[in-house]
């Protein structure tokens, strides 16, 4: 069986799939207050189409999928889709990124799906007022409840914290403190200055080094070994139960070992977060492409995977990145 390999010899094993572009929150770094222009429903991939695309990719060596969005739990029957995907015997791992505001009642059911292993919960502040300012919705108690339920569940939990200058940088140390008694991984994400209405002005860029310096003002920190294709550099404070990591989303120092591709909610194939989107899979399958056609297409598309995010951005025809991560599938 041919495997998906790019021209730099990187084996593609992980696909990020946005199951919707819709969201119940309006995080200021992700979209404007009035939201983004969502696409008509018929332009979204159906769950059947998603299942088929993932199946074909797994026949080419992909073994992990991350479901994201928009907010995945906004899409009707998302939990049934998780069950459906679990039937794919070639898939090892299903991961989910969620804002946590709609999931508490589903946790028991999700825990029973053995392929669903890791949940990334986005939580940018531990203070209700600040959380409401950042997300423009007053849902902190529900998200915190989700956090507590997930922490007690058998699912592996990572907290995603976008570090926003002037908003939550004073809480970096509080988040690391959480790892003392809780078996969680906190991941600080460098903010990317685009949110669906163009390039956003940022006061200061909180880069990996700056975030790490801030943690070191209070804690002694050791770097820990990361998986080769990890999106983060990872650290531990001695005697803390959990760990923390930093995702250099903006400074892009982790591209070398990238093993990921992306599919947006409208079926656009992306080799890199920063590229334009290189092929419309939805129209290809709606026009009758067979699974063999799809395989051939995937094998050729990944050959154009750019070496890193800077090259991907430089190759864009649509100018600098400005789309919301909700459209791209964060
Ligand atoms: N709605 C879900 C959530 O918020 O977890 C999933 C989709 S969201 C687009 C995926 C991740 O992208 C979240 O952790 C979010 O914080 C992150 N994200 C969105 N916009 C970003 C930006 N401009 N810079 C850095 N991270 C961003
Ligand atoms: Fe929605 Fe996630 Fe974007 Fe926040 S980061 S607006 S929760 S898609």
The residue whose C-alpha atom lies closest to atom 17 belonging to ligand 1 is 330
Least confident of 44-58, 183-197, 270-284, 315-329: 315-329
Ligand 2: atom nearest CA of 325 is 3
What order do you get walking across the sheet with 260-263 strand by strand?
Answer: 221-224, 233-237, 243-247, 185-190, 156-163, 116-122, 93-98, 64-68, 14-18, 260-263, 268-270, 279-280
- Going from the Cα of 27 to the center of ligand 1, the distance in angstroms, rounded, reads 8
Q: Any idea which ligand is nearest the CA of 330?
A: 1
Check pocket membership of 69 for ligand 1, CB cut-off 6 A: yes
Split at pLDDT 50, 70, 90, the class of 202 is low
Looking at ligand 1, which residue's alpha carbon is closest to its atom 11? Answer: 330
Q: Return the ligand 2 atom nearest residue 101 CA.
A: 7
Instruction: Locate the DSSP E strands across 156-289.
Output: 156-163, 185-190, 221-224, 233-237, 243-247, 260-263, 268-270, 279-280
Residue 199, pLDDT > 60, answer: no
Q: Is the CB of 243 under 6 A from ligand 2?
A: no
- Provide the pLDDT for residue 203: 63
Centre of ligand 1 to C-alpha 12, Å, is 22
- Using the mean position of ligand 2's atoms as its centre, give its distance from the Cα of residue 7 in Å: 33
Ligand closest to Cα of 139 equals 2
Q: What's the mean pLDDT in 194-204?
A: 66
Instruction: Identify the pLDDT of residue 168.
Output: 96
Output b/e per residue, 48-59; b: 16+ Cβ within 10 A.
Answer: ebbbbbbbbbbb
Contact (Cβ atoms closer than 8 angstroms) between residue 229 and residue 258: yes
What pLDDT is recorded for position 198?
Answer: 59
Q: What is the mean pLDDT of the chain?
A: 93
Least confident of 92-106, 111-125, 165-179, 305-319: 305-319
Q: Ligand 2 test: best mutation among 70, 96, 132, most atoms within 8 Å of CB?
A: 70
The pLDDT value recorded for residue 107 is 97
pLDDT digits (tens, 9 = 90+) for 252-293: 888 888 999 999 999 999 999 889 888 999 999 999 999 999
pLDDT band at 187 (very low <50, low <70, confident <90, very high): very high
Nearest listed ligand to the Cα of residue 98: 1
CA angle 235, 241, 246 (to 5 degrees): 25
Nearest CA to ligand 1 atom 23: 192
Tell me the pLDDT band of 297, cut-offs 50, 70 and 90. Answer: very high
Contact 303, 56 (CB under 8 A): no
The backbone torsions φ and ψ at residue 271, rounded to the nearest 5 degrees and listed phi first, read -85, -20
Among 61-65, 88-92, 209-213, 321-325, where is mean pLDDT lowest?
A: 321-325
Q: How many residues does the chain have?
A: 330
Cβ of 228: how many Cβ atoms within 10 Å? 8
Q: Residues near 238 by Cβ (< 8 Å), separated by ≥ 6? A: 220, 222
- The alpha-helical segments, DSSP class H, found in 157-207 are 172-178
CB of 72 sitting under 6 A from ligand 2: no
Strand partners, 95: 66, 118
The answer, yes or no, to whether residue 160 has pLDDT greater than 70, is yes
**Largest CA-CA distance found in the chain, in angstroms, rounded:** 59
Confidence of residue 172 (pLDDT cuts 50, 70, 90): very high
pLDDT of amino acid 123: 98
330 lines ligand 1 (CB under 6 A): yes
Looking at the CA of 196, name the nearest ligand. Answer: 1
Query: Can you spell out the DSSP letters for 107-147?
Result: HHHHHH-TTEEEEEEE---SSHHHHHHHHSS--HHHHHHHH
Instruction: Collapse the DSSP code of 199 into the 3-class scheme (helix H, G, I; strand E, B; otherwise coil) and give the result.
Output: strand
User: What is the mean pLDDT of the segment spanning 105-109?
Assistant: 96
Q: Does the beta carbon of 237 lie inside 6 Å of ligand 2?
A: no
Q: Using CA positions, which residue lies closest to atom 4 of ligand 2?
A: 27
> What would the pLDDT profile of 83-101 be if each residue is shown by its tens digit?
999 999 999 999 999 999 9
Measured in angstroms, how far is the CA atom of residue 72 from the centroid of ligand 2?
10
This prediction has a pTM of: 0.95
């Amino acid at each position: 069986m041919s495997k998906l390999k790019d021209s730099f010899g990187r084996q593609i094993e992980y696909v990020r799939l946005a199951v919707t572009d819709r969201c119940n929150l309006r995080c200021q770094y992700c979209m404007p207050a009035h939201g983004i222009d969502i696409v008509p429903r018929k332009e979204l991939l159906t769950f059947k189409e998603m299942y088929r695309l993932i199946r074909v990719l797994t026949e080419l060596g992909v073994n992990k999928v991350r479901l994201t969005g928009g907010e995945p739990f906004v899409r009707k029957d998302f939990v049934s889709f998780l069950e459906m995907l679990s039937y794919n015997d070639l898939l090892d791992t299903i991961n989910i990124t969620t804002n946590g505001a709609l999931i508490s009642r589903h946790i028991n059911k999700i825990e029973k799906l053995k392929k669903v292993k890791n949940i990334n919960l986005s939580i940018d502040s531990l203070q209700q007022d600040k959380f409401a300012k950042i997300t423009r919705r007053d849902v902190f108690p529900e998200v915190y409840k989700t956090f507590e339920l997930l922490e007690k569940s058998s699912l592996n939990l990572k907290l995603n914290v976008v570090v926003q200058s002037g908003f939550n940088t004073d809480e970096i140390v509080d988040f690391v403190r959480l790892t003392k008694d809780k078996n969680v991984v906190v991941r600080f994400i460098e903010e990317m200055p685009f949110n669906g209405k163009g390039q956003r002005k940022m006061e200061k860029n909180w880069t990996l080094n700056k975030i790490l310096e801030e943690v070191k003002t209070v804690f002694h920190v050791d770097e820990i070994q990361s998986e080769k294709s990890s999106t983060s550099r990872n650290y531990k404070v001695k005697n803390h139960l959990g760990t923390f990591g930093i995702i250099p989303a903006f400074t892009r120092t982790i591209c070398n070992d990238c093993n990921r591709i992306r599919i947006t909610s409208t079926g656009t194939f992306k080799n890199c977060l920063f590229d334009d989107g290189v092929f419309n899979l939805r129209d290809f399958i709606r026009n009758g492409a067979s699974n063999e056609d799809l395989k051939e297409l995937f094998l050729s598309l990944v050959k154009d995977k750019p070496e890193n995010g800077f090259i991907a951005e430089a190759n864009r025809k649509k100018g600098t990145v400005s789309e919301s991560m909700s459209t791209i599938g964060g």
